Structure 1
Amino acid sequence: MRASSRKRYPAPRPRIARDRKSGYRLGFDHGYWFGQCESVLKRTAVQIGIKPVHVLFVATGKGYPYAPLDEAIAATLRRNVGQLTVTDAGQPVGEIAARIRPDVVIVLDGLQFDTAKADEVRRAGIRIAVWFTDDPYYTDMTAKLALHYDDVFTLELNCVEFYRRLGCESVHYLPLGVYQDEFRPRNPELNKRHDILFIGSAFWRRVEFFDQITDYLASRDTHISGIWWERLKRYNRLKGKIALGRWMGPRETAGMYSGAKIVINMHRAPEDDTFNSNSAGITAVSPNPRTFEVSACAALQLTDIRDDLASFYKPGSEIVTYSSPSDMVEKIEYYLTHEEERRRIAMQGMARTMREHTYDHRLRTMLSILFPDR
């Protein structure tokens, strides 16, 4: 079956409960699902253990959409270390570090952080680490930054060797994760629930893909949210299903994920030329942050294949992958008509996420690397 064909699909099922009986059934069904989620969350709750160190955390300070990440990392560090001082890249970090003498300075992203400040921290005899959060898309820039740090953490597996070849002695693979205080099962309003959901920017590779399934998505209860979606060849065909240019905070995004039967995750292509500085042509094999955020909300995630995905989730059991537009359509149709299997995979994906992929897990890993003897 060609996903771009003009095949007629059945009309989507109505979302509004038409009478008290159907409304009761819908509410009971969602309540039962929500109760299952709460049970899993209790069984997988993270046990907090304090690392007796003082961390100076340098947030990006770049505002939205980085602000939620700044807040998530700061909040997670606060409950995992003995002492935390928070600043941002625009502040005199070298002076602050010299005054308070932290055990380590952790810089998030680093693209807006003057390397002279990093050098100043090191001259003061204080260890400084950076966590690159957009690899490999800005490696032309990060290549000039990495050597100014004692420790480099990257969310992309293929960038580990890249930084080592540059001469960095301490390089570690540390993907982003999920802030479970915000990304968790929610109880959204009925009008925010959909069969198919995609939240993200319309990079050109995504546009080319969605152009091939426009008719199918138009025939279903689909919702798309993000910038640049007017790039679609037949934007008007999907216009009524697109919230164009809309940014949502973590809690609202989690609500949308929780209310969707299937959430599409399409990774950004490393060679996409939209805001891309990757002249080395480094390919990407690691899952994006959305992978963990969607799964944390107990939604069935339908994602494209990345080589290192199986290190985090078991395909077919905790997450579902697709290989082409037609494969995506076939799997959407299958899981929309196999409710029990869809929910089981989504629930198992959420459990795996909460057991292994929260920011508590990631930052404990980082701190264990930085302070193995504490």
Structure 2
Amino acid sequence: MRILAIGNFSREYMAIPWGEPLRRHRRFDSVVVDAVPLLAAGGNDRSYCLQYIYSLIRNDSFDYVLFLTEPLLHHEFPDEFFQALRKAAIPLVAVHTDDEPEFWYERNRPFDHRFDIIASHSKAATERRQQAGWGERALFAPWCYNPEHIFRMENRQKKYDLVFIGKYKKLGVTSILEEDGLIREQSLVRLYHFCQEQGFRFRVFGYGWDKHPLLKEVYGGMVTLPEMVEVYNQAKVVFNPSWAADGDFSIPQNKLRLYEAAGCGAFQLTNYSQALLESFREDEEIAFFRSDDELLHKVLYFLDHGEEREAIAEAGYRRALRDHSTWRRLDSLVDALVKLAPPKRNGTIARKRIATVLAGAGAVGAAKAAKVNKVAEAAKIFEATPVDDWFSFERIEEISVKDRAALKSYDYVHVIAGDFRRVDVDVDYECLQTSLTGDGEAKALTVRSIVQAPGSDPNFVQVENYNFNGFILKADRPKQGHELEAEAQLHKCLPALDWGGERLFPASLIVAGEFLDRWIDGLQGKRPLATGDLPLTHTYRIVNRFFIKQGMESLLSRQFILFERLFSSLARQKKTVLLYGARGDLIAPVMAYMGKHGIRLLGFIDKALAGQSVQGVPVYGREDLERLNPDLILITAIHSGPEIRKSLCEYESRYGVLPLYDLDDPAWEAGF
């Protein structure tokens, strides 16, 4: 059985619970496509992403195409794309990760017609679809977690009495956009005062709370996934509300953090949810509150009754480990898919063995980290395919004749040279396997890489194509423009060699054993490499992913390069700026650049929010444009951007108009 999985795997909370288990499940094979870097690589043009997926489907044999959906990705894939996929006669399956009625459900429902089967994290949404005619093709698939990354720590010390992890949703938005932000903020403020009175140690973690007038006093900072695991393990009580986006205290939402907290062995307190009772037993594996007063009462009660609290936490942990790992969820999902749309074949394909060789400073530690199973207890409850064979050398010159002999026992060898103190690396060879096992096997293959660095958006958890800072590294065609500039910076972390006048990164090449000596001799400088030395087959497949940690400026993607030049130039020229669209997807990175360069922002133009303020900046209507008289209007809306751009044509002799959503607009070349 073979699955093509597509989603935003640049978000850690999608990559960890879904991306990794899909790649490593023993029961089936999966080619996992992160759509965000592909969409970002195309700028305003989504065609590269679509063509890449078409190519995978043409050259492989999939039994299912699985989309992990979210609102932004819905809009990036047109109906015509799904119509084309239907020609391949492969069942199209959606997993809606946010789907509670009414807010999220109504965002997903207009796109349901694209799919044959829909799995939802929401029980209410599943029941609605079943009643609307989907029947058994509407599946309930609650959130799940990955026990290899989310786990209980031994000998954990409780540093906090009460913690909350989540973003400040009201920061920089109005009631139109805040989802459950108002209820969240009000509850946290109440808890703050309560904990102050009782002398409890209370901390809030997540994006934006340092800007809150009161809660900044108990702000613990932004947390990465490992830091979140640590916080949950160190807390006596986790306040883990799960309200939906409708601003109603009584409407719950099935959220990922409920399963992550349980997977850490934490005691959690959340608002009552009938649907959640299917996952955890009340007062045995989880605790609920039904009002503000009951919330405060239960915080006090469970902090005073440690033995009862720990018993509930232990039971919740055992339940999560037994029933709610992603491996369990994938088993259930695949069982349902097999019943509804039987696959062409069962089991997995025969595959070529590929050795991954890391060569450079920090390589030994990097290879060890790639192979380690983080939780022995978790490994007992699911079967995962082993991580590919990794070898490591602190210097490429250390690869000896004996090492070469060992490597030749593999079908192919992939040498990645770099400074692994500055860069993390991940590889996924599944997209190559069908071509490697066919007729006329390739002897040396070029592959592509996703290169990603930290961006300017302070909310590093919410990665989308509009704030993704990276590019696609290609070895199969000449470089141009921003690619050359980005590769020049990448050379600081991943050394390259000259290949017929082109810069070639060793990671871009995978060679068969019979050519290994010639390849390593060239890498070690023993014999110069010429373009005719290796018979290259260009695969155009993305195999590598590099995460730049240090030693490289955040100027990788074309967007980031152009944005940095734009805002630094505006600052030097002391230009005044007006942002058109107070709710645009580009607001966060643009505001970060504005603040970094000290640019004078006159305000926003947004008809729906006129008279209000966003992040303390006034919002005006279109009729105020001439009075404000900006030097430059930046269009920050993405989906409505072309319409706004067209409506501003009459003003272009007075003000500069620059669409940030379209990097190919002639205005970028004409000056501002």
Q: Note whether the superposition's TM-score is higher than 0.5.
A: yes
Tell me how far apart the structure 1 counterparts of residues 254 and 238 of structure 2 sit (CA, whole Å): 15
- 1:95 Cα shift? 3.2
For residues 30-81 of structure 1, give each alpha carbon's deviation from its aligned partner in whole angstroms, at most 9, with x where no partner exists: xxxxxxxxxxxxxxxxxxxxxxx111111224x3xx3331243122122243
- 1:87 Cα shift? 1.2
What secondary structure, in the 3-state scheme, does the structure 2 residue paired with 1:303 have? strand
For residues 65-102 of structure 1, give each alpha carbon's deviation from its aligned partner in whole angstroms, at most 9, with x where no partner exists: x3331243122122243322121334232332232121
For residues 2-34 of structure 1, give each alpha carbon's deviation from its aligned partner in whole angstroms, at most 9, with x where no partner exists: xxxxxxxxxxxxxxxxxxxxxxxxxxxxxxxxx
Alignment correspondent of 2:34: 88
The structure-2 alpha-carbon separation of the partners of 1:94 and 1:249, relative to structure 1 and needing over 3 Å to count, comes to same
- 1:217 Cα shift? 2.5
Alignment correspondent of 2:451: none
Tell me how far apart the structure 2 counterparts of residues 259 and 272 of structure 1 sit (CA, whole Å): 30
For residues 125-160 of structure 1, give each alpha carbon's deviation from its aligned partner in whole angstroms, at most 9, with x where no partner exists: 111101010112433331121111111111111112
2:220 aligned with 1:243, yes or no?
yes
- 1:110 Cα shift? 4.7
Tell me how far apart the structure 1 counterparts of residues 326 and 247 of structure 2 sit (CA, whole Å): 28
Normalising by structure 2, what TM-score? 0.43
Tell me how far apart the structure 1 counterparts of residues 306 and 61 of structure 2 sit (CA, whole Å): 55
Structure 1 residues without counterparts, runs of 5 or longer: 1-52, 274-282
Contact 2:232–2:264 (CA<8 Å) still a contact in 1? Answer: yes
Contact 1:143–1:163 (CA<8 Å) still a contact in 2? Answer: no
Contact 1:194–1:221 (CA<8 Å) still a contact in 2? Answer: yes
- 1:216 Cα shift? 1.3
What secondary structure, in the 3-state scheme, does the structure 2 residue paired with 1:255 have? helix
Moved more, 223-232 or 155-164: 223-232
- 1:197 Cα shift? 0.6
Alignment correspondent of 1:323: 290
Tell me how far apart the structure 2 counterparts of residues 316 and 338 of structure 1 sit (CA, whole Å): 13
What letter is aligned with 1:255?
Answer: E
- 1:360 Cα shift? 0.8
What secondary structure, in the 3-state scheme, does the structure 1 residue paired with 2:62 have? coil
| Matching of residues 337-352 of structure 1 within 5 Å | 337-352=304-319
Cα RMSD after superposing both structures: 2.5
What letter is aligned with 1:100?
Answer: D
- 1:352 Cα shift? 0.6
Contact 1:147–1:167 (CA<8 Å) still a contact in 2? Answer: no
Alignment correspondent of 2:184: 206
Equivalent of residue 102 in structure 1, options 56, 62, 76: 62
The structure-2 alpha-carbon separation of the partners of 1:144 and 1:94, relative to structure 1 and needing over 3 Å to count, comes to farther
Alignment correspondent of 1:361: 328
- 1:166 Cα shift? 5.8
Equivalent of residue 97 in structure 2, options 112, 133, 136: 133
What letter is aligned with 2:187?
Answer: F
What letter is aligned with 2:188?
Answer: F
What secondary structure, in the 3-state scheme, does the structure 1 residue paired with 2:28 have? strand
The structure-2 alpha-carbon separation of the partners of 1:110 and 1:194, relative to structure 1 and needing over 3 Å to count, comes to closer
Contact 1:318–1:349 (CA<8 Å) still a contact in 2? Answer: yes
- 1:314 Cα shift? 1.1
The structure-2 alpha-carbon separation of the partners of 1:309 and 1:71, relative to structure 1 and needing over 3 Å to count, comes to closer
Tell me how far apart the structure 2 counterparts of residues 301 and 171 of structure 1 sit (CA, whole Å): 30
Higher CA-based Rg: 2
2:229 aligned with 1:269, yes or no?
no
Alignment correspondent of 1:5: none
What secondary structure, in the 3-state scheme, does the structure 2 residue paired with 1:306 have? coil
- 1:250 Cα shift? 2.1
- 1:193 Cα shift? 2.4
Contact 1:59–1:107 (CA<8 Å) still a contact in 2? Answer: yes
Alignment correspondent of 1:120: 84
- 1:209 Cα shift? 2.0
Alignment correspondent of 2:7: 59
Contact 2:126–2:138 (CA<8 Å) still a contact in 1? Answer: yes
Moved more, 317-326 or 363-372: 317-326
Contact 2:160–2:202 (CA<8 Å) still a contact in 1? Answer: yes
The structure-2 alpha-carbon separation of the partners of 1:326 and 1:165, relative to structure 1 and needing over 3 Å to count, comes to closer
Equivalent of residue 234 in structure 2, options 259, 264, 281: 259
What letter is aligned with 1:213?
Answer: L
Alignment correspondent of 2:616: none
What secondary structure, in the 3-state scheme, does the structure 1 residue paired with 2:6 have? strand
For residues 300-328 of structure 1, give each alpha carbon's deviation from its aligned partner in whole angstroms, at most 9, with x where no partner exists: 11111011222111111111111222222
Tell me how far apart the structure 1 counterparts of residues 155 and 230 of structure 2 sit (CA, whole Å): 5
Higher RCO (Cα < 8 Å, 6 or more apart): 1
Contact 1:104–1:126 (CA<8 Å) still a contact in 2? Answer: yes
Equivalent of residue 226 in structure 1, options 196, 202, 206: 206
Contact 1:158–1:284 (CA<8 Å) still a contact in 2? Answer: no
2:119 aligned with 1:173, yes or no?
no
What secondary structure, in the 3-state scheme, does the structure 2 residue paired with 1:371 have? helix
Equivalent of residue 217 in structure 1, options 171, 195, 218: 195
What secondary structure, in the 3-state scheme, does the structure 2 residue paired with 1:138 have? helix
